[in-house]
Amino acid sequence: SLPKEATIIEVGPRDGLQNEKNEVPTDVKLRFIRALQDAGIREMEVTSFVSPKWVPQMGDAAQIMDSVPRTGRQFVLAPNERGIENAKAAGADSIAVFVGVSDSFNKKNINRSTAESMEGLAPQIRQLKKDGLFVRACISTAFHCPFEGPVDPEKTLELCRQFAELGADELSVADTNGMADPAESYRLFSRLKEELPDLLITAHFHDTRKMALANILASLQAGVDRFDTSAGGLGGCPFSPGATGNVATEDVVYMLERMGVATGVSVDAVCRAVDEIAGTVSRPLASGMYTLHQNG
């Protein structure tokens, strides 16, 4: 049976904008974030404390944190000690660390092997937990790697177990390049729900091959009730070649609500939040529900 409720974790302001060609002014980002909160979003990745040389689009992380309304949970991404320090200094209480299962991807994204990243993050995560912060661990290339091809699910599970042992609160398990299929989504998420019952398990699907909604249905059937989505379907990792957006928030909310799974999020209000950013971004915003909204 399906869950009665599901949580939408909006990643548009972070995943959605980190790969954007145009410069999106900080005040436009803030209007987007506020409109998403008004739409009923309670958990959101608002920015990331990464190297501005690597990802200039997130260079205004501290300003975003200064002005973002503190309603619900605001996640900020941090790849290393420096990022975690900066995030804490900006007042963040929920930190999202990120590591790829695939070494080749992790090197392109963080300039470290997966093991090196984990070595660096382990004491950081223990300290964050001692300090009472919420730790979300984003697991990239959980299914496929743009450089290495299919990823062994046992390797993904092993990395997830390592984060569980370190005390992470949540795993966001990601199909970075939109190659997962519903059968493998069902298998991996069933194992995760069974083996790590004390962690929040979240599914993060990119929609490159238009399989994300099918993957979400399969994950729901495996017991997942938390989904990372991006308003307007924006997104993509700059270090995953050919990356495209996350599954669109408005399409996921529409599907879940139609199925009787309550999200507390308004499709119309999410579309109005997308209106705030549509004129600034270079990518076409062509989700099903946003297209209907634009056509009146």
The residues of the shown chain that bind Mg ion, judged by CB under 5 A, are 15
**Interacting partner of 79 out of Mg ion, ligand HMG, none (Cβ under 5 to 8 A depending on kind):** ligand HMG
At residue 236, the 3 state secondary structure works out as coil
Element (H, E) at 60: none
233 lies in the binding site for ligand HMG (CB under 6 A): no
Say how many residues touch ligand HMG, by CB under 6 A.
Answer: 26
Q: Of the listed pieces 44-52, 150-158, 211-219, 269-277, which binds ligand HMG according to CB under 6 A? A: 44-52
Beta carbon of residue 100, minimum distance to Mg ion (angstroms, whole number): 11
Could you tell me how far CA 246 lies from the centroid of its own chain? 8
- Whether 143 contacts 169, CB under 8 Å: no
Contacts (Cβ under 8 Å, ≥6 apart) of 132: none
- Whether 233 contacts 245, CB under 8 Å: yes
Active site residue 271: no
**Interacting partner of 29 out of ligand HMG, Mg ion, none (Cβ under 5 to 8 A depending on kind):** none
18 lies in the binding site for ligand HMG (CB under 6 A): yes
Beta carbon of residue 153, minimum distance to ligand HMG (angstroms, whole number): 16
**Interacting partner of 98 out of Mg ion, ligand HMG, none (Cβ under 5 to 8 A depending on kind):** ligand HMG
Contact residue for ligand HMG among 8, 39, 41, 50 (CB under 6 A): 50
Provide the 10 A C-beta neighbour count for residue 181: 16
Contacts (Cβ under 8 Å, ≥6 apart) of 218: 182, 183, 185, 186, 189
DSSP state of 5: B
Beta carbon of residue 258, minimum distance to ligand HMG (angstroms, whole number): 26
Catalytic residue among 138, 145, 237, 271: 237
Cβ-defined contacts of 107-116 (< 8 Å, 24+): 108/147, 108/239, 108/240, 109/140, 109/237, 109/239, 109/240, 110/79, 110/80, 114/159
Binding mask 169-198 for ligand HMG (x = CB under 6 A): -----x-x----------------------
30 lies in the binding site for ligand HMG (CB under 6 A): no
- Whether 187 contacts 221, CB under 8 Å: no
**Interacting partner of 49 out of ligand HMG, Mg ion, none (Cβ under 5 to 8 A depending on kind):** ligand HMG
In angstroms, the CA 97 to CA 172 distance is 10
57 lies in the binding site for ligand HMG (CB under 6 A): no
Closer of 15 and 184 to Mg ion (Cβ): 15
Catalytic sites, residue numbers: 237
Which residues of the chain form contacts with ligand HMG (CB under 6 A)?
A: 15, 18, 48-51, 54-55, 77, 79-80, 82-83, 86, 98, 109-111, 138, 140, 174, 176, 204, 206, 237, 239
